[in-house]
Structure 1
Amino acid sequence: MKSKAAILWGTGQPWSVEEIELDAPQHQEVLVRIEAAGMCHSDDHVRLGDGYAALPTIGGHEGAGVIEAVGPGIENLAVGDHVVFSFLPACGRCQWCAIGRSNLCDFGAFLMEGSMISGGYRAHAQGKDVGTLSLVGTFSERTVVHESSIVKIDQDIPFEVACLLGCGVPTGWGSAVNIGEVKPGETVVVVGIGGIGANAVQGARMCGAENIVAIDPVTFKTDQAKILGATHTASSMEEAVPLLQEITRGVMADVGVCTVGIVEGWMIQPFMDLVSKGGRAVLTGMARNVDDSPKLGMQMFSLFEKSLLGTVYGGCNPRADIPKLASLYKSGKLQLDELVTRTYSLDQINEGYADMLAGKNIRGVIVNEF
């Protein structure tokens, strides 16, 4: 089958939208027609070489679509099902899935290798095998994926917002709810208001936080944060210090979530300074894979009993939390429409990422027209 996809052929190059050839799904695989795909900053990290990925690869790890064909061994999915891609697969069998931490599933070892879990490639272009980023490759009209990478959803959820449930929404929401463990009446500070930080604000709101401080240098983003639940805003961590001192009577934030586009070592100390004694600081944003030198005053970190917590996917379990978040959207408790700033065609992908880097979008979404 012929399709069209955005391929990254080399580090630092733009996305190349071109024709691909797709093989039929094999054992425990399905063919999905992709209706919408979210444009996450992580894909640009891959393009710039901040994180490893085997190239060439079809980008994209947020998406939603419709199953068009199933391979042998598929029991709980059928043609016509609406699905959300999870950028982290969940096998349901490894130690981590068995203890309810499927965001750490052992299948994650395959994420950046490009090839399928069962081996080989299903996409080809210019006479070469082409991988799929995070095992899904949603910057495409169609893709073949392993069943562990998709979750069935109700058919009345618009694809443009459903696609966000595969990465940005659970990662941000879970950073506040699962990892930060925000409690009613607490003060929360979120550093960086993009597709993930915006949802950390929502998670804090839904937990009953009294004060939610959104920090971003782009006024458009802090204005959007207010719509999603922020009670206060600041343009920088330094500017937020006196604000937090005032609203907490000097105690500072109970929980901090850092979701800036590129986390750098020097940011750790000012981020920790926003958090109170005994506070929880959640590091969600991605750093460059060569950055191993965080700056942290270790004595006060210890004496003040602060916690610095890493997270992937916000500690969410895809098969349980994607349907839960979809239900919260349908009941009006989770705002998703407000996250989609602009939509683009697949051919406009490089324009969409330029807008993201310019701070114009909370989330840009690629919409395929069939």
Structure 2
Amino acid sequence: MKKFLVLLISISSFLYSCSSKAQIYPDKDWTTNQNPSDTGWNDPERSTFNRYIIDSTNITGLVIVHKGEIVLEYGDIEENSYIASCRKSVLAILFGKYVENGQINLDKTLEDLKIEDHSPLLNIEKTATIKDVISARSGVFLPGSNGGDFRRLAPERGSVKPGSYWLYSNWDFNLAGHIFEQETNQDIYEDIEQQLVNPLQMQDWDKSLQLKNGNLDVSKFPAYHMWFSTRDMARIGLLMLRNGKWKREQIIPEDWIEAMTTQRTTYKEAQQNAPILKEDGLDLGYGYMWWLIENTSDYKLKNAYSAQGALGQNITVYPEIDVVLAFKTKSDYRRRNSIQTQMEVIKKAVEIYSPEKTN
């Protein structure tokens, strides 16, 4: 019996040590893996990828994180800059706490919420729920206060039932920000500090940079723009990868991480409604304001998902291989990357990972 207990304790200790080793988090600074070749990130492949970033993209900052440690970095990963539509995925994260405690009821309709814009909502549009809005399926095809969406592809207003049709529309996304603040009585940027910046020990966050804007003569709901550094974007990705847990604390409900990354729109429907998506280079479905990588034969990309923004802003999480990729392109430098380039980077970043070739 005594030998059995000793054996049991030994096994438990071993499993705990393995688990602990796999769950590395940054403190105030990131830990850099000093021997990435030992974990499958061999020097020749990393050098080739680095040369690709320099020669074939306009990326200004990039990090790859494996098992909580940086295995590759490029450019300036400290500077804050505009993250474009990645803001939507950040907002989605904030919802979880309030969905769990009941302050946000995803089944509330726009009529329940007393939502109106300059153009009155049609009766059918008023039946859209918060759930429809955050999955880009509201069926309300009004213009947003800022551009950069697929509204030009929208069918006639009132022609589809809310929840039945996907359209990437800034009206939905900006309204999601308004609903968040209305239902929680919280400012988005202050809540980012409370839920993300402070517990994740973000290094570069500057609240003074954060700014809502848009043409409020077009829509009452402004865009909630955000500025982050690449290495702080990677912290967000690591939080998602760890199912909302940071060190010993459950920051975001685990069920909400799953809800955000559950398919609400298939890649086939997304490509049918916005045919331009067929040219992206990866098949992308949609969850709650997160893009889902689908229809891939690469095991490294299985169940992967992304926050994506114009010009070249990206956080991609690869759950199957414990990897986070974050990169950005600072618009102030008048540099930009196409969506096709972003998809290439997402694929190439893990093509260089060869666990079978560890030293």
Fold shared, TM-score > 0.5 on shorter chain: no
Return the structure number with greater strand share: 1
| Bigger Rg over Cα | 2
Specify the TM-score bucket, using the shorter chain as the normaliser: under 0.3
Return the structure number with greater helix share: 2
TM-score normalized by the length of structure 1: 0.27
TM-score normalized by the length of structure 2: 0.28
Q: RCO greater where, 1 or 2, for CA within 8 Å and sep 6 or more?
A: 2
